[in-house]
Amino acid sequence: MILEIKVPSPGESITEVEISSWLVKNGDFVKKNQVIAEIDSDKATLEICAEESGMLIIKAKKGDILKVGEILCLIDTSFSKEKRNFRAPSTIKILNQYKIEKKKIISTVKNKKDDALKKIPSMGTKNLINRSFDITKLSKLRRKLSERLVSVKNETAMLTTFNEVDMSNIFFLRKKYKNIFKEKHGVKLGFMSFFVKSCIIALKKYPDINSMIDGENKINFKYYDISIAVSGPKGLMVPVIRNADTLSFRGIEKTIKNLSNSIKNSTISIDDITGGTFTITNGGIFGSMLSTPIINPPQSAILGMHNIVERPIVKLGKIEIRPIMYLALSYDHRLIDGKEAVGFLLSIKESIENPIKNLIGSEENLKNSFELK
């Protein structure tokens, strides 16, 4: 029996996908539910699994663009698992072209094109060594991201303003409660939950930063869906913490952990990465001192966090060493004035530098806020 494997629909508005990789080869025996390929849409990468066991017959190569519902491959379910020893036409062509003896190609089951390529004599100037390069096609996800980033630069009046924040009190709270928080909730008490809560307070003070332009109209969102930039195997993705203003520290940290795991495991859904009213990106995890983050369209602003470095600052006329983080807010000047942008960062600075007063309420409420009772 020949079973057709067709391109599934990744989402309501997506009509085509690109084959980003084949995890098996043409003619391989595959098992039921085995992951055989990955496909890219404009918004996410999806895995394709074998629906039955049998011999795989690939109908579309890596990089091909297919419509939803088109045939991706076939599975001949009448084949049982067996070793097959054959040479592909592309390999034979290379062997003949460069007069490479077949006995020099070492392979146990299948001779690969790469095996033959490795035997091609080196060419070029004697003194020029190690000057090889690879050419790979950008994935559909990366090409779409490129288009979006360029459109932001061309279609918005983007500016960036900066400030710095003393992280001493956040360090103190995390050191005091991180172990019991992890034991109680199974997730770390990270910096991000403090910044999400600080941003929500600031967004309520400066509602135009939680807005977007729609033609000649401005849309102010009355809810707070905070997008968090997460680096994954396929590049940067921006999943959304829905109704972040209703979540506790535990709720925010657990949501971030679950979304990050979904990205790493390639199980993230379209719904998880669409929408969002404001974005936070943390280049500090890679060691970035300062950056000008690009707005995540159609949003109007994005907060950039950076690495924390001990720096000398003046406190009450004395020089002290404090853990300092630089903050950056990139914003669309068509909607947001500089005064609002500066005020927004100052609000975050106040919340982070005095978290007990501004985020928690009082010292007596600490354990309630961290849900440790």
Cα(38)–Cα(48) distance, integer angstroms: 6
Q: Are 327 and 304 in contact (CB under 8 A)?
A: yes
Contacts of 247 (CB under 8 A, 6+ apart): 241, 255
What pLDDT score was predicted for residue 98? 45
- Give the number of C-alpha atoms closer than 13 A to the C-alpha of residue 48, restricted to the C-beta side: 30
Cα(311)–Cα(85) distance, integer angstroms: 64
SS3 237: strand
In CATH, which superfamily holds the domain spanning 156-369?
Chloramphenicol acetyltransferase-like domain (3.30.559.10)
Distance of CA 223 to the CA centre of its chain: 23
- Just list the catalytic residues: 333, 337
- Pairing of the two strands 226-228 and 278-282: parallel
pLDDT band per the 50, 70, 90 thresholds, residue 12:
low
For the cut 90, the answer to whether the pLDDT of residue 188 exceeds it is yes
Least Cα distance to 67 among 138, 9, 126, 141 occurs for 9
User: pLDDT of 63-109, one tens digit each?
Assistant: 888 998 999 998 888 766 574 433 455 445 544 654 545 554 444 33
User: pLDDT of 223-253, one tens digit each?
Assistant: 999 999 998 877 788 999 999 999 999 999 9
Q: How many CB atoms lie within 10 A of CB 290?
A: 15
User: pLDDT of 309-363, one tens digit each?
Assistant: 999 999 899 999 999 999 999 999 999 999 999 999 999 999 999 999 999 999 8
* Global pTM value: 0.70
What pLDDT score was predicted for residue 63? 86
For the cut 80, the answer to whether the pLDDT of residue 139 exceeds it is no
- In degrees, to the nearest 5, what angle opens at C-alpha 76 toward C-alphas 20 and 94? 55
For tokens 């070793």, the residue is 83
The domains of the chain are located at 156-369
What pLDDT score was predicted for residue 40? 84
Task: Give first-to-last CA distance, the chain, whole Å.
Answer: 60
E strand or H helix at 304: strand 301-305
CA distance readout (Å), 107 to 26, 85, 86, 351: 16, 9, 10, 63
User: Whats the size of the chain, residue-wise?
Assistant: 373
E strand or H helix at 281: strand 278-282
121 φ, ψ to 5°?
Answer: -60, 145
Residue 372 burial class via C-beta count within 10 angstroms: exposed 0-12, middle 13-18, buried 19 and up: middle
Q: Are 301 and 159 in contact (CB under 8 A)?
A: no
Average pLDDT, the chain: 85
User: pLDDT of 29-64, one tens digit each?
Assistant: 889 999 999 888 876 778 899 999 988 888 998 888
SS3 361: coil
Structure tokens belonging to residue 245 = 């203003």
